[in-house]
Chain A
């Protein structure tokens, strides 16, 4: 496939440069785990060799003076950066149609909400626990939610990349400290793990908007798991319904703050004429530099943080976020390692589960034509199943699944993702369960 025809890349490393690096890699004695692998980086992650535009007009000519920590780690593990992939401007959108560089028909990179694109394109998407992978050099959309993720053809590849980029980084103040990492790994090693897993089915995810194909795939995946000897248990996550609204208050609020730095003064694109000529400082530069969806979310965020609205929106949404996290803590048999032990009041673990399995998106991937007809809020609904785990900072994997295996008439649009969610820090378990589903395909 010719990448440019899909508009998947914003910039590509030159063929000569890639060959040179591959040859150099061949001469190295210590071969890293990603030795010679071509890895595409999403264009909101800083690279010093290729531009970093975040698909925004305001950064259309920007090249970062430094590499993000994840880029350094990938290169150290032997990976070769092949290019920078397209995205919704600053990651704002669910379908990669809101790019300055045109809409994307396929996406193949690492970062952020890795799950939805993975589900739509039939590949593995892995979002690690918040704080495991450094965000230094990742353009902030919503700092408290942003997580570098991995998109790959198989769980094995995803795991290899994750192992290369996982690790404490003192440059990221939200990076999980070595002490906490040790505590978590001790906690995990103390757990007795049965070969038979307890798999939770969140009842609140069975929503009216769920398309029949997706529901069928979900049921089918659960049956497969049961056939392998795992126990399926219904669980309740009562705050789920409010999670999407909370997310769309918190993320735009943080985005409106994070994007305030783009004023064209120190870097980036600047509008012609004096700043403030149109009454408000930088309004011309920002008006020209940002696309509609970014402007919509910046305005939304500015409103929910305003003195008159903050109590009813931002503060309420933070409370919902805490409730969402408590929902998950109630159903997982593993205690949340970030909370004080004992405070969560662990009771009998019989009713608790090891992982949750649910769809990644409520529908099949929409076509660009159908998206044109959607209102912005309708588009937000596609995030309904990925948002709760995001709010709680939990690890999640989307694994491609075809309910109608053997049936004809399923093209690319027929991709369905099944999502595996686990307790904070239990990243490897999500990958293990994903592998089970992957192998039964």
Chain B
């Protein structure tokens, strides 16, 4: 991950300004919010490109994720996110002479949860190796990783059509996971132009997992969907630090193209872990968002096709990608490739994972996003559409889902038994959590928090609505009032503002109708004399409107 190519950059030029990953993600999330409806999945519909009919793209991805642990990988120093620089550093973390690693067993737990959720075979025995390269953010001159014997192998994830995969991939596509390994994170370098680099070693040796997929991806949108899916799986089993907003995830992509009519000749071309007949690949390092993954893959695919069509040859090289760019750029070629000189760490013994621990973790693993979405659709107590279910699961790292489940839980307790039995209230709740509340958030350009309108408040509003104690319009106004800061309880607002629906007697409706007819004689005339029956609809509408308004005893105060 962090890296020799950075080292190279350090030696040659001042590094271009790098947008911090967290900031980038926040910006991206904000942009999504501004677009109104939550839109985690992009649709790409391009006309067929003759070049793409001739050339097939192949992509494999390496994802690095910061594990959610309290201690570092090899010392008892605490992990931290934004603490004062260099306040959590043990002797080994900064490679002091004579210091030795002390593997922190608890760090294995989130790593195992992640690997189980990615359907991997957990290895009974795994080992640690040293990966050597010089860079100031790597105090020992090597990173401890699991190269020869990783702790998890041969997993897979399934991406489905509603998860943003390319239409060509059909209903679903399975992406193989070659392996998952544990390794150390690096220090943070803070550049002080022109030549000073400040180092913060708090992050050094924070436990990471690296997830390596097989080259099973053939479309840019699917590559982005794959990273997004892995991120959501990691978040759902509480394996990673704080979700994408906190920058816990980075990706490298390996890209190659091959001519489709030659695909059958599997003996030719390159081979990777059993996948044969591949074109020469290049690696694009350090992509920090879903969009960057998709855009970089598109740019690199197009570059490779262009080179090959012009009769050129693709060189195995490492390339970079800058946000907002339309082209990848060469960082170093094969001749500049770093030989990492992987060596088993002579200080660290093998890691042995017992079957009892695995069984415990499997039985206590939280429900995965796919399982949750299926449950919301299939369980008659919810009965949501797949679209709403997936949206709930995908939003706000699962926080929106938790909020929704809270609302449903409270409603279930508050509603009378006849209303409880139907799944209608769960659907109504989903609609309000996603669309009514979502709309308010979008208008206010406000990020999601579960406190803006508490789950209890929304449940109370919906309980009144479902029992026909207030109108839909009143319910929306109540939500808005509370959203904008009214701290009174729903009960209080309803009582103080006289918002309870008061059913009208037949005489009252008749009086209202008479009033309308009297006030709109011209319309009545048009219907009666000219036979313009269509106009009766307008009259009807006014009657309904008057009735609704008449449903409230308004005390003259406008609700904001």
Q: Which residues of A contact B (CB under 8 A)?
A: 45-46, 52, 54, 59, 62, 64-66, 68, 135-140, 142-144, 170-174, 253-254, 256-257, 259-261, 263, 265-267, 274-276, 279-282, 302, 305-307, 310, 314
Contacts and interface: CB of A to CB of B under 8 A. Distances in A.
A257 B343 contact: yes
A172 B341 CA distance: 24
Contacts of A307: 339, 341
B97 interface: yes
29 contacts: A46-B98, A54-B97, A62-B97, A64-B96, A65-B91, A68-B98, A137-B99, A171-B102, A173-B100, A253-B343, A256-B341, A257-B130, A257-B141, A259-B141, A260-B134, A261-B140, A261-B141, A263-B136, A274-B195, A276-B10, A280-B11, A280-B134, A281-B10, A282-B134, A305-B132, A305-B342, A305-B343, A306-B341, A310-B342
A303 to B, nearest CB: 9
Contact of B95 (A64, A261, A282, A314): A261
A143 B346 contact: yes
A64 B130 contact: no
A276 B97 contact: no
Contacts, number: 108
Contacts of A64: 96-98
Contacts of B195: 274
Interface in B2-24: 7, 10-11
Contacts of B130: 257
B148 to A, nearest CB: 11
Contact of A136 (B95, B98, B136, B199): B98
Interface in B348-380: 348-349
Nearest to B12: A276
A275 B132 CA distance: 18
Given A65-B96, A173-B101, A254 B346 contact: yes
Interface residues of B, number: 33
A173 B347 contact: yes
Interface in B125-152: 130, 132, 134-136, 139-142
Given A142-B346, A260-B142, 13 more contacts: A45-B98, A46-B98, A66-B98, A137-B98, A140-B347, A257-B343, A261-B97, A265-B199, A267-B97, A276-B10, A281-B7, A305-B341, A306-B341
B204 to A, nearest CB: 11
Contacts of B109: none
B348 to A, nearest CB: 6
A48 to B, nearest CB: 11
B97 A136 contact: no
Nearest to A307: B339
B53 to A, nearest CB: 38
A52 B141 contact: no
A136 B343 contact: no
B314 interface: no
B132 A136 contact: no
Given A254-B346, A266-B139, A281-B10, A140 B98 contact: yes
B456 interface: no
B98 A173 contact: no
B343 A174 contact: no
Nearest to B197: A275
B523 interface: no
Among B7, B103, B346, B347, max chain A CB count under 10 A is at B346
- Interface residues of chain A: helix, strand, loop or mixed (majority): loop
A327 B7 CA distance: 46
A267 B96 contact: yes
**Most interface-central of A138, A253, A276, A279 (chain B CB within 10 A):** A276
A327 to B, nearest CB: 21
Contacts of B142: 257, 260
Instruction: Give the 4 A-B CB pairs with smallest separation, nearest first.
Output: A260-B141, A305-B341, A144-B346, A261-B95
B29 interface: no
B339 A306 contact: yes
Contacts of B410: none
A48 B103 CA distance: 25
Contact of B100 (A171, A265, A280): A171
B136 A275 contact: yes
Interface string B82-108: 000000000100111111111100000
B97 A281 contact: no
B421 to A, nearest CB: 60
A137 B347 CA distance: 13
B263 to A, nearest CB: 30
Nearest to A306: B339
A260 B132 contact: yes
Contacts of B347: 140, 143, 173-174
A314 B343 contact: yes
Contact of B97 (A59, A143, A314): A59
B144 to A, nearest CB: 11
A139 B346 contact: no
B339 to A, nearest CB: 5
A170 B76 CA distance: 12
Contacts of A256: 341
A5 B195 CA distance: 46
A406 to B, nearest CB: 46
B332 to A, nearest CB: 13
A257 B97 contact: no
Contacts of B97: 46, 52, 54, 59, 62, 64, 139, 261, 267
A261 B348 CA distance: 17
Contacts of B199: 265
Nearest to B135: A281
A136 B347 CA distance: 11
B75 to A, nearest CB: 10
A139 B91 CA distance: 13
A54 B95 CA distance: 16
Contacts of A52: 97-98
B100 A172 contact: yes
Contacts of A275: 136
A88 B62 CA distance: 44
B341 A302 contact: yes
B103 A173 contact: yes
B128 to A, nearest CB: 10
Nearest to A62: B97
A44 to B, nearest CB: 8
A280 B140 CA distance: 17
A281 B347 CA distance: 26
A260 B135 CA distance: 10
Nearest to A54: B97
Contact of B11 (A254, A266, A279): A279
Contacts of B102: 170-171, 173
A138 B140 contact: no
Please indicate which of the listed interface residues B99, B100, B101, B132 has the most CB atoms of chain A within 10 Å of its own CB: B100
A140 B141 CA distance: 14
Chain A CB within 10 A, most for which of B141, B339, B341: B341
The residue among B10, B11, B94 with the most chain A CB atoms within 10 A of its own CB is B11
A281 B134 contact: yes
- Residue among B7, B97, B139 with max Cβ neighbours from chain A (10 Å): B97
A66 B140 CA distance: 18
Contacts of B349: 173-174
Contact of B98 (A138, A253, A266, A310): A138
Contacts of B99: 136-137
Given A46-B97, A68-B98, A173-B349, A260 B339 contact: no
Nearest to A302: B341
A257 B143 CA distance: 11
Given A173-B103, A173-B348, A139 B141 contact: no
Contacts of B140: 260-261
